[in-house]
């Protein structure tokens, strides 16, 4: 009995003296070494039209993170990182820059899929895990480029599972994880891994009073990203918008009982750009929201009004069919108080070369 007590005491002292050896430190290091090379920095080039620019487009650079998920060169990232980018480049460890194009995006769920021109030799894709198997309290880690510092690891736990809830002006439900792993600007689109090295989420946004990490990071689940980007057909339109409903719709002089999508930004060469849609140029703040006003307001797509029940999903599926068939689409907009109908095709664009866009 005394021997057992002595052994237990010695074991406890060893644990207290060397916590890293008994916790997940060593295994976390090993997992990071295995999956780290699949994590990329996503660099973008875009433009804004602001009043002080005299109506001229001003070039802006963007930065986020992403993860390679198959050997053919598909990278998952956040939609808000690439949705209105004129050019996209992906940087692997060793500052290897590869040209990319957006091939699928769901702005409402904040996930997007890139296709690379090539994958550097020796890079093993990360595996998308089953996010349904994750439990609150599980250890997790995030890898990305916070504030542009590439391949930074932050660790924490799965803090909560947020069941599908309407987002983006009530358009579509999005399933989210909450985590206390530190997340900063530049982490958006990066992977959240479980301790098996499987991607169980894609970083979306943080809630913060200070602008820094406060343990309230939100991550789109891997199962939702898989369904929207890989299992089902999807499209990219190159448009960022803000949904106007209720009092806000009336404030923008929309017709009675109408909803609309206020166009914020449009990527050059995108389907939205080829349709002739125009983004906003005047920055304003309405409540807690920072918006660009002065752009078009979309009321309907191919006769499907944005106020109609299930409009977002119906429009998404319509655009998928048109992209496959090469057909044209009509969009009803408000511009300068007048109702206008724009018509054009839905097709994939050829990407601008990342190096030509100065992405470094």
pLDDT score at 53: 59
How does pLDDT run across 287-333, given as a tens digit for each residue? 878 899 999 999 999 999 998 888 888 998 898 888 888 788 999 99
Q: Is the C-alpha dihedral spanning 33, 147, 136, 76 positive or negative? A: negative
Query: Per-residue pLDDT for 2 more than 50?
Result: no
The reply to whether 127-231 shares the fold of 38-116 is yes
Give the mean model confidence (pLDDT) for residues 3-9. Answer: 49
Query: Per-residue pLDDT for 7 more than 50?
Result: no
pLDDT score at 41: 97
| Beta-sheet pairing, 191-193 with 260-266 | unpaired
How does pLDDT run across 79-114, given as a tens digit for each residue? 999 999 999 999 999 889 999 999 999 988 999 999
Q: Which residues contact 337 (CB under 8 A, 6 or more apart)?
A: 253
239-345, superfamily in CATH? PDZ domain (2.30.42.10)
Query: Per-residue pLDDT for 254 more than 90?
Result: yes
Higher pLDDT, 55 or 190: 190
Residues assigned a catalytic role: 80, 110, 188
Higher pLDDT, 67 or 164: 67
d(CA 219, CA 85): 22
CATH 2.40.10.10 for domain 127-231, yes or no, is: yes
Residues 257, 244 contacting (CB under 8 angstroms): no
Give the mean model confidence (pLDDT) for residues 185-196. Answer: 96
Other beta carbons within 10 angstroms of residue 155's beta carbon come to 18
pLDDT score at 211: 56
Q: Where are the alpha helices (DSSP H) in the chain?
A: 2-17, 19-22, 25-35, 79-82, 222-226, 246-251, 271-275, 311-325
pLDDT score at 55: 58
| Predicted TM-score (pTM) of this structure | 0.83
Higher pLDDT, 322 or 156: 156
Looking at domain 38-116, its CATH architecture is: Beta Barrel (2.40)
Residues 327, 346 contacting (CB under 8 angstroms): yes
How does pLDDT run across 201-249, given as a tens digit for each residue? 999 987 655 555 556 899 999 999 999 999 988 889 999 999 999 999 9
How does pLDDT run across 13-30, given as a tens digit for each residue? 433 444 433 344 448 999
Map out the domains of the chain as residue ranges.
Answer: 38-116, 127-231, 239-345
Q: Give me the long-range contacts of 164-168 (CB less than 8 A, separation at least 24).
A: 167/108, 167/109, 168/107, 168/108, 168/243
Query: Per-residue pLDDT for 10 more than 90?
Result: no
pLDDT score at 58: 78
pLDDT score at 137: 96
Q: Which two tokens stand for residue 133?
A: 């198997």
d(CA 233, CA 316): 10
């Amino acid at each position: 009995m005394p021997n057992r007590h002595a052994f237990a005491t010695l074991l406890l002292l060893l644990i207290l003296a060397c916590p890293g050896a008994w916790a997940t430190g060593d295994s976390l290091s090993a997992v990071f070494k295995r999956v780290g090379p699949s994590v990329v920095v996503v660099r973008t080039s875009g433009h804004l039209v602001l009043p002080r620019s005299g109506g001229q487009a001003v070039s802006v650079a963007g930065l986020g993170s992403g993860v390679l998920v198959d050997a053919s060169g598909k990278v998952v990232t956040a939609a808000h990182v690439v949705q209105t980018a004129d050019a996209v480049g992906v940087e692997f460890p060793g500052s290897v820059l590869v040209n990319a194009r957006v091939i699928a995006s769901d702005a409402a769920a904040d996930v997007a899929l890139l296709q690379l021109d090539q994958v550097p030799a020796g890079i093993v894709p990360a595996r998308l895990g089953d996010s349904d198997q994750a439990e609150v309290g599980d250890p997790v880690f995030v890898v990305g480029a916070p504030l542009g510092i590439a391949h930074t690891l932050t660790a924490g736990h799965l803090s909560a599972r947020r069941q599908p809830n309407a987002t983006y002006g009530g358009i579509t439900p999005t399933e989210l994880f909450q985590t206390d792993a530190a997340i900063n600007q530049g982490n958006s689109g990066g992977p959240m891994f479980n301790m098996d090295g499987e991607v169980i989420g894609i970083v979306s946004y943080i809630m913060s009073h200070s602008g820094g990490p406060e343990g309230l990071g939100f991550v789109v689940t891997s199962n939702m990203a898989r369904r929207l980007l890989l299992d089902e057909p999807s499209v990219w339109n190159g448009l960022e918008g803000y949904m106007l409903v209720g009092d806000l719709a009336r404030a923008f002089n929309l017709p009675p009982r109408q909803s609309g999508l206020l166009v914020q930004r449009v990527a050059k060469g995108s389907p939205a750009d080829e349709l002739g849609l125009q983004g906003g140029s005047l920055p304003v703040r309405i409540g807690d929201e920072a918006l660009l006003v002065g752009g078009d307001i979309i009321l309907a797509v191919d006769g499907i009004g944005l106020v109609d029940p299930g409009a977002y999903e119906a429009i998404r599926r319509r655009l998928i069919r048109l992209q496959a068939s090469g057909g044209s689409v009509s969009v009803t907009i408000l511009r300068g108080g007048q109702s206008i109908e724009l018509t054009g095709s839905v097709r994939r664009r050829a990407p601008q070369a990342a190096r030509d866009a100065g992405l470094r």
